[in-house]
Chains A and B, each alone.
Chain A
Amino acid sequence: MKRVLEGSHSVAEAVRLAKAEVIAAYPITPQTHIVERLSDFCADGSLNARYLRVESEHSAMAALIGASSAGVRTFTATSSQGLALMHEVLHWASGARLPIVLAEVNRALAPGWNIWTDQTDSLAQRDTGWIQLYCETGQEVLDTTLQAFRLAENVSLPVMVVLDAFYLSHTYEPVDVPDQEQVDRFLPPFTPRFMLDTERPCAFNQMAPPDVYMEMRRSIQEGMEEALGRFAEMEDEFKKIFGRSYGAVEPIACEDAEIILVTSGTMSSTCRQLVKELRSRGEKVGILKIKLFRPFPAESIRRRLKTARKAAVIDRNFSFGSGGIFAGEVKAALCDIPERPVVFSFIAGLGGRDVTVGDLENIYMQTKNHDVPQQESIWTGLRPASAPAPDLKR
């Protein structure tokens, strides 16, 4: 049924349809609407789950580690400082091979306090062993949350569904909310391979000396590798039931494109607008939207980018001392092939600064007008150093 839903509520609807059994969460803007709506569902009985109102994000993830180890479907949501606080236990969740699903609303990290969108919080967790899926629209948010449970349970790894603060979390869009019967067909009840069981007592997560630890780490990587194939298979199944699919990466007008803009999240929508305009003026431009960030779909990215002359990766994030994080990953994926595009790395929209069609057109023109990038990372939309900070008292 089509409904007009806020992005946050799309997440909550999917969690209800997925019949999560234990939810533990702690409030932080701009994630709160997700957990408030889930509280409503638990209170009015439309979701039969235990909801733990824990005293921190660290405890939220820890509680889900306990619940998931006992063999039930689990969910939490967080953002920014909350995700950073969880860091230690994010590693724990993947190391313990627990299919926990987390909705992460991209928000800038302090200081200074900034509640607006920025991907550095989730990307800083890239080495924690979590699958990461970035979303562009309200529909994609709902669908991806459903997909996340299935993927997580297929490969025994936790999944992070990532959405932009406000542009997605607080924006209302028409969203097709599927029937319970359809969802049940797509997502069978969770049957854990191992769990805490007094009939079959086992020790979990115990000491692992050097002679066994490395194999355990290797098996996490095997899970990640398996997730690439499972993602495609899962999307095929999803498409059969719901008629929609997204792809680990989505190429838009890439076939004959000389310049490809590489994006993720809601900025992809602005790029779509720009590409429509540029194409009508005869420019050979396309977009490669990256949805799956971990495991990184390097092969698909190579396949889509190798025929272009240039790629402009636009990062709403930054790794200090290095550069845009998607750009770094894309360059690494391309470096082994002989015929590859020149990669330009642009930094835009940190801390929720608006990135307009005009800004993206500038990025496109800079890429077009230079044979090689002028800098390792090109920061766009910066106020000139001489310009005073805006007067907030006005």
Chain B
Amino acid sequence: MQPEVPDRDYMFPGHVGCPGCGAAIAMRFLLKALGEKTVMVIPACCWSIIAGAYPQSALKIPVLHTAFETGGAVASGVRAALDMKGDTETTVVTWAGDGGTFDIGFQALSGAVERNEDFLYVCYDNEAYMNTGIQRSSSTPYGAWTTTTPGRDWKKMRKKNIVEALVAHRIPYAATASIAFPEDLFRKVAKAKAIKGARFIHIFASCPTGWRIPSEISVKIARMAVQTNIFPLYEVEDGLRYTINFFPKGYLVKEYFRLQGRFKHLTEKDLDQIQSMVEEDWKLLLRKAGLS
């Protein structure tokens, strides 16, 4: 059963994200689930801009903007301070991009998760460094064009599997979510909110500007990523118990790739290879979930 998503918003409409920005949609649903007793830490990313410049803020909760690689550490400090003040009720949440999570902020995140700090870390994943103009990250998928993987130098490495990296820390709760499945996203955030210790949610958040897609298909593309098994929806409890939340009918990855300018250079052969990579990853996930 999916929960009712409340009407109340903790985000003002006047943010400065691009039209169709998946990261803005993701934030909106996250905050609906977290509510006003939330303190948010935002390291450098598109959201450093989207949230607005001094003296305005697009968010109705306290926000601490911080240096790019500090998401895990700053939140640890906020948590420690609130605990010292006897406030164990407020949720401390870090909201970071894929670059701030998979790459430069990975050390601080790993440290915070290893210490099992009582906080929620949310990565909105737009699969590149968008703030600085679409450069590749370790989350950029195999096959993608970015401004640092241009022409025939398109990215030839796999996307790092961040959830599995955190599962290896035996994190109490890790989940993937998508802007195209808001009820599932809402439920996972609400569930994470109630858990003690470190929690991680990886949200697939399409980026019309960086992916070279029309803004009106932002959500459709996110849905296709799930339907093609490119971005499966699942949860892992205590680093052990896997639950897969959505079993797609097996759409072909081609359809997803063909809609995006960032993949337009790929040949049929490349797409076949990507199809088999996606299938291999899905089988691995099924095995972990004890389903094969």
Contacts and interface: CB of A to CB of B under 8 A. Distances in A.
Interface stretch (A59-67, A123-131, A230-238, A315-323): A59-67
B83 A201 contact: no
B277 interface: no
> What range describes how many residues of B lie at the interface?
35 or more
Given A62-B67, A207-B48, A70 B36 contact: no
B217 interface: no
A198 B48 contact: no
A355 interface: no
Contact of A52 (B62, B77, B82): B77
Contacts, number: 162
Contacts of A203: 51-52, 54, 57, 59, 62-63, 65
Contacts of B52: 203, 206-207
A279 interface: no
Given A67-B80, A89-B67, A196-B62, A55 B37 contact: no
Contacts of B62: 196-198, 200-204
B53 to A, nearest CB: 4
Contacts of A212: 53-55
Interface stretch (B107-115, B150-158, B168-176, B279-287): B107-115
B133 to A, nearest CB: 17
A69 interface: yes
Contact of B73 (A50, A54, A68): A54
A58 interface: yes
Secondary structure at the B interface, as helix, strand, loop or mixed, is mixed
A295 interface: no
Interface string B29-53: 0000000111101000000110111
How many of chain A's residues touch chain B, expressed as a range? 35 or more
Given A54-B73, A55-B107, A58-B69, A204 B80 contact: no
Interface string A27-55: 00000000000000000000001101111
Which of A54, A197, A203: most chain B CB closer than 10 A? A203
A64 B60 contact: no
A209 to B, nearest CB: 6
A204 B59 CA distance: 12
Nearest to A69: B64
Contact of B61 (A54, A198, A206): A198
A57 to B, nearest CB: 10
A54 B41 CA distance: 17
29 contacts: A50-B80, A55-B107, A55-B108, A56-B111, A59-B72, A59-B73, A63-B73, A63-B77, A63-B80, A65-B70, A66-B66, A66-B78, A69-B78, A197-B62, A198-B90, A200-B62, A201-B36, A201-B57, A201-B62, A203-B54, A203-B59, A204-B62, A206-B54, A206-B57, A206-B63, A207-B65, A208-B53, A209-B54, A212-B53
Interface of B: 36-39, 41, 48-49, 51-55, 57, 59-67, 69-70, 72-85, 90, 107-108, 110-111, 114-115
Interface of A: 21-22, 24, 49-50, 52-56, 58-60, 62-72, 74, 88-89, 92, 196-198, 200-209, 212
